Structure 1
Amino acid sequence: MKKRSILRRISALLLSTTMLFSIMGCKNSNLETTQLSFKPGTYEASSKAHNGDLKVQVEVDDTSIKSVTVIEHGETPNVSDAALEKVPAAIVTTQSVAVDIVSGATYTSNAIIEATKIALQEAGGNLELLNVKKEQTEKVEDIEKTADVIVVGAGGAGLAAAVSASQNGASVIVIEKMPSVGGNTIISGSGYNAVDPKRQEPLGIEDSIELHYTQTYEGGDKLGNPDLIRTLVENAYPALEWLESLGMEYTDNLITVLGGLFPRGHKPVKPLGTGYVDAYMNYINSNDVEVMVETKAEELIIEDGIVTGVIALGANGNKVTLNANNGVILTTGGFGANVEMRQEYNKKWPTLDETIKTTNAPGATGDGLIMAEAVNANLVGMNEIQLLPMGDPNTGSLSGKVGVGVASNVFINKEGNRFVAEDERRDVMTMALYEQTDKWLWEVIDSDTYPTPESKNNFNQTITELVEQGIVIKADSLEELAEKLDLPYENLKASLDKYNEAVDNQGGDEFGRKILEQKIDTAPFYAGARSITVHHTMGGLEINTSAEVINKDSEIIEGLFAAGEVTGGVHGSNRLGGNALADITVFGKIAGENAAKNKLK
């Protein structure tokens, strides 16, 4: 009797559960088929994006979303362009706010979606109904194309290679897995190291190619390939002139990039790395160079030991086969955004797990390394992974950085003390930061860096914007700064007094700092929080000075070239700040020229 009663209860429970799921299923089904309803008109709403508020204008009729337009924003050109175009279009096409974000532009994508939700709610829209995801099922055919040179990756190295190959008479196709071009270059600090007497001598700076070579070689603990380093430093300025011939503009003021060791950093007129990308794309758009975004390379085509093309995946899952008459250039970047790969190769740092953010674009996942290793390419220096002490504590990004050069800042820990020379090598500064409370520092500067409210950092952000967004703390006295940062005032004052005394004496800094150009003693004071972030992976494909890829038997892989962060051997154990832009330009240009002249058998 008792057993039968239990069975009845189980049966009743199962029946009620089945009814519940049935009701829920009906509810979802009803949501999917219920027609949208709005109060016709045009509505505007705003949401917080990466660089401040973003405003949309949404037009609706009785039953549909007619248009979504971003009418105001402060997002970075090129970086956010794909999101600004694709997200509003997807909302209108699917009649839903449950649309995919654009990789590499997460903040912009989410801001568009959130602002659109607010506007649609004001129009009387049912948010539950609008949140039903609707797939776009457009069928796309497989593609096969042929060009002289196929470039894989549309960051700075890839675009340099594409332009160079084109200028040397080759037909070129560039593929990029992300929705827009630019890679790490477009979000970089953008300083470009080159010995440049024309700009340096008027500033009283004595420099030489030999000094640049020595600092690069010794700064990488003599682990870099001397021939590659020599190629880099000797061609850095000619490559800069080549960039200028494409329309790239630099100021005449040279800086010492963080970890750059010397004032040979050329600062672009345009913010971030947008000037580089604009210069390349202006050429590409005016010439017969094809760029295919949202096209992910998956494997190299190899015939009789010769690389003859690439097989890729298109945006809609279609197969893309690209045949090369002359060669393939890999410019896919490093693996700074691949946590698993970072952990696999890390031999130096306490941890590089997901708690350590990265400055890298999300596309830096080591794809090119994996593809090339599958055709027997040799990898060198993979354990050499560079970190910076300059990442946003929440995102790892370099944006929001309050300092604009090594000469103008000091690093203060949570106890109010300096702890390292701010002009040291990047690995030295970062290892020192690992030992500080919460791996946290305050970058402190004064009003000499920002003489007006509209003065900007290297990321085109004004000091007013940085303060309003809470990224930077402003104080009208040192006491107020200590209070706002929750630091012992006595320690902060003593730290700055000692530093300022070293500037006055032009020596004697307690941490051995050599760049002692600017005191920090004039209110208002500013401070920005910074932490450890993965910045550059120095290891990668072994190449020669012609940018040809070398296999595990020390032989050239016919038809395969590489440039930029996908390669190894240029920087040794530590990359000097400002050398990356020179590296990708010099070797991108070399790879493009040599691939254009190469004829496959």
Structure 2
Amino acid sequence: MGKQPTNKNKGNIVGLFLMVLAAVITIIIAFPVTDGVRKYIKDNTKYIAGTYSAADKGFGGNVRATVVVGDNGIENISFEGKSETPDIGGAAIEKLNDKMKANLDTEFDSVSGATITSSGLKHALKKALLKAQGKEVKGERKPQSADIVVIGAGGAGMSAAIEAAQKGATNVVILEKMPITGGNSVRATGGLNASETQYQKRDGIEDSNELFYQDTMKGGKNLNDPELVRTLVENSASAVDWVNSIGGDLSVVGQFGGASVKRIHRPSDTSAVGPMLVKTLNAKLDELGVPVLLETKATKIFADKDGKITGVEAEDDNGVFVINTKVVVLATGGFGANPQMVAKYAPQLEGFITTNHVGATGDGIEMATELGAGLTDIEQIQTHPTVNPDTATMYTEGVRGNGAILVNDDGKRFVNELDTRDVVSAAIMAQQNGESWLVFDTAVRESLSAIEKYINEGIIVEANSIEELAQKTGVNEANFVATMQEYAAMQAVGKDSEFGRKSMEVPLTKPPYFAGKAKPAVHHTMGGVKINKETQVLKEDGSVIPGFFAAGEVVGGVHGANRLGGNAVTDIVVFGRIAGDSANKYVLDNGGNTERTITAQTEDANFVAKDIKTKLKDGSYKGSAKGFGGDIEVTFTVKKGIVNDLEISGPKETTEIGGKAINKIKKGMQKSGKFEVDNVSGASVTSKGITDAINNAKLQ
């Protein structure tokens, strides 16, 4: 055992301490820390290249400082504080940002009248600088790194990540703000337009890239970027083959509006293309081991003094963090679900319903313009002509392509149903109440399985005769009967003498008959970020932003003033793949690939199920309610206030939306211990169906 110090030893220790303290004080007095000394320390502090961000308490909430370090030291310092009062804290932040642009400095004086905000910014900057030196900061997350960051897990983003990985990229990560992948892509109902494909040749369909190009330019009123359209059509056949090569199914060719020939490629079971495509892409990402960080929203993209991409700021349930990266692929989709943004660029569409998922809010466009990206065709917003006004369910163009017609309340046709979307939408809006009826028979129903979803959803009227259908829908019976007879006669001779419709697949004479109410809704935002054919993001002057690529609906120029049905899926696959390939080439030219450092936690990571508590009486319960694709059923037992054997089933819900929502809701109950439905963003109809089914549950 060691000896305890004696009183004599204690005295010696105290004396020694006092001598050292006196010496230190003497040195400080003799050699004060002058401005020159401070400058020497500041100039010789070593920082590690990358982007570093940290937060601290401001006046209204957290304020944030971001430091960008290049090979030669600090290149940029910026501040933000979204919760600060605009006229005081906000003005102070703007003033300090201007000061940093004029004279970059790691120290600054507080802004008069905004001392609390200034103090928070100083502390935030200090933390960010410490992180830039490789030091740990308590309460702050370390920066992560990746070679390629894809923002958005829709069709374009997932295609880009897969293509990059297939070409050799080893450190790719996808950020997705929603709880599920798919974006608007999972809602696509039609198919993928492609020319000169093996399936067209099999069916004897004569098509060419030139004809596809001409149709697309005509549909877009020649506002399209010709170079991008050439790229689209020339890579369309390989897009079909690529989807099929990774496990997809695009082998049936059909007719769609605006196309001169049958060109749209669909699944062999004629189901909606979106769920099939997203399921295929998800499976391939899993196979390649590409991490997808769900419920992780990108909030800012960083660049160095030369405009070269250096990082991404993102936010998840654990707070804000930064990923240092060489490349960003922007695939955040359009802004069709942002009514303010829609009204800003197209005031005539204010108040329109939308077919878009709730995450299509234009975040990517805003992040891109902050970096100086140019925009093109931003005011060009397309409406889809046939959307149910009560549920916002979009009837695929395939219903009309396979033979359905449109009639008004007077029981008469009023347009060539296969004209371009803008023409058909305008014709419907010109009718009484701006609505129409989509009418088809059993032959059309049997030709397209996607119709079953509409019937299961309860938005289709069914009748055994034309007269009965007129009575149920309220259209003029005499006119409607005459319209159907005239259409059958025209179909028999192969000529639509009223509106010039070229494709008349069936005479619409096979009962039962069906009708669904339809009106236009905001569907696709054609405008967006400027790119070239390599998907490099361009500034207004046409110069390239190094390391920045974009694909999908966030991009403008591909579709011009009007997008043809089936071209969106072509767009996301063709340009998504090009973006992935271009991103990988850029990485190889700028230091090469690195090992993956980011992993996505599985849903079961750290999961501990709790007892789900309820006030219901003991016993077995069963309830059902209407979901998105059909009925949702809930069964469970209750014993001593605890829910057991909980089963939620919705066999007709889409796998990639409703199916995932069901699993997420059940797991949410097990995590919280509450018998309550936590609404899943992007699957609100399914979520409500589960809530209603639980509320409807009765003791058996």
Structure 1 residue 273 displacement after superposition? 1.1
Equivalents in 1 of 2:451, 2:531: separation in Å?
33
Q: Which has the higher contact order (CA 8 A, sep 6+)?
A: 1
- Match of 1:497, SS state, is helix
Is the contact made by 2:404 and 2:444 (CA closer than 8 Å) also made in structure 1? no
Shift of residue 388 of structure 1? 1.1
Equivalent position of 1:310 in the other structure:
312
Structure 1 counterpart of 2:638? none
Runs of 4+ in 1 over 6 A off after TM superposition: none
1:423 aligns with 2:425: no
- Superposition pairs for residues 432-511 of structure 1, below 5 Å? 432-451=427-446, 457-458=449-450, 461=453, 466-467=454-455, 469-511=457-499
**Which residue number in structure 2 is paired with residue 119 of structure 1?**
none
* Structure 1 CA distance for aligned equivalents of residues 241 and 397 of structure 2: 30
Going from structure 1 to structure 2, the CA distance change for 1:257 and 1:163 (only over 3 Å counts) comes to same
Give the Cα separation in 2 of the matches to 1:479 and 1:405: 21
Question: Residues 149 and 173 of structure 1 are in contact (CA less than 8 Å); yes or no, is this contact kept in structure 2?
Answer: yes
Letter in 2 for 1:395: T
SS of equivalent residue, structure 1 residue 557: strand
Does residue 353 of structure 1 match 2:350?
Answer: yes
1:165 aligned partner, one-letter code: A
Separation of aligned partners in 2, 1:250 and 1:515: 22
Deviation at residue 247 of structure 1 after TM alignment? 0.6
Match of 2:369 in 1: 373
**Is the Cα–Cα contact under 8 Å of residues 196 and 209 in structure 2 kept in the other structure?**
no
How far residue 513 of structure 1 moved from its aligned partner, in angstroms, is 1.3
Q: CA deviation at 1:456?
A: 5.6
Q: TM-score, normalised by structure 2?
A: 0.62
Tell me: CA distance 1:291–1:241, structure 2 relative to 1, closer, same or farther (3 Å). same
Write out aligned runs for 1:49-198 (5 A): 142=141, 144-170=143-169, 171-198=171-198
Q: Where does residue 275 of structure 2 map in the other structure?
A: 274
- Code of the residue aligned with 1:301 in structure 2: it is F
What's the offset of the Cα at 1:232? 0.3
1:412 lines up with 2:407 in the alignment? yes
Shift of 1:143: 5.3
- Contact kept? 1:338, 1:364, Cα under 8 Å: yes
For the 8 Å contact 1:403–1:457, the answer to whether it is kept is: no
State the secondary structure of the residue aligned to 1:390.
strand
Structure 1 residue 353 displacement after superposition = 2.1
CA shift, 1:203, in A, is 2.9
CA contact (8 A) 1:358 1:395 kept: no
Give the TM-score taking structure 1 as reference length: 0.72
Which SS does the other structure have where 2:461 is aligned? strand
Closer, same or farther in 2 for the Cα pair 1:260/1:295, shift >3 Å? farther
Equivalent residue for 1:393? Answer: 389
Q: Kindly provide the CA deviation profile for residues 201-222 of structure 1, in whole angstroms up to 9, marking residues without a partner as x.
A: 3433211111001101111111
Change (3 A) 1:142 1:545: same
Aligned residue type for 1:457: S
Q: Deviations over 1:91-115 (max 9, x none)?
A: xxxxxxxxxxxxxxxxxxxxxxxxx
Take 2:299 and 2:443, find their aligned partners in 1: how far apart are those partners?
A: 50
Of residues 516, 521, 524, the one that matches 1:533 is 521
Report deviation, 1:200: 1.9
Q: How far, CA to CA, are the matches of 1:525 and 1:474 in structure 2?
A: 6
TM-aligned CA distance change 1:468 to 1:249, over 3 Å: closer
Quote the Cα distance in structure 1 between the aligned partners of 2:368 and 2:266: 34
1:497 Cα offset (Å): 2.2
The letter for the 2-side match of 1:388 is H
Residues 430 and 199 (structure 1 numbering): CA distance in 2 closer, same or farther, change over 3 Å? same
Work out the CA distance in 2 between the residues paired with 1:459 and 1:324.
45
CA RMSD of aligned residues (A): 2.0
Q: Report the AA paired with residue 172 of structure 1.
A: V
Q: Which of 580, 585, 593 pairs up with 1:597?
A: 585
Which residue identity is paired with 1:292? L
Change in 2 beyond 3 A, CA 1:500/1:143 = farther
Q: Does the 8 A contact of 2:192 with 2:569 survive in 1? A: yes
Larger radius of gyration: 2
Structure 1 Cα separation of the partners of residues 579 and 452 of structure 2: 32
In the alignment, the residues of structure 1 paired with residue 436 and residue 197 of structure 2 have an alpha-carbon distance, to the nearest angstrom, of 36
Q: Does 1:546 align with 2:534?
A: yes
> 1-side partners of 2:399 and 2:140: how far apart?
49
The separation in 2 between residues aligned to 1:460 and 1:247, in whole angstroms, is 24
Partner of 2:379, secondary structure, is: coil
Task: Measure the CA separation in 1 of the matches of 2:152 and 2:292.
Answer: 10
In structure 2, list runs of 5 or more residues that go unmatched. 1-137, 592-700
Contact 2:240 2:250 in 1 (8 A): no
Instruction: List aligned pairs for 1:289-328, cutoff 5 A.
Output: 289-304=290-305, 305-316=307-318, 318-325=319-326, 327-328=327-328
Q: Quick one: percent identity of the two aligned structures? A: 40
1:468 & 1:536 partners in 2: Cα distance?
26
Deviations 1:380-436 (A, max 9, x none): 00111110111121232316x696341310001111111110010100000111111
CA distance in 2, matches of 1:273, 1:158: 14
Whether the aligned pair in 1 keeps the contact of 2:302 and 2:310 (CA below 8 Å) is yes
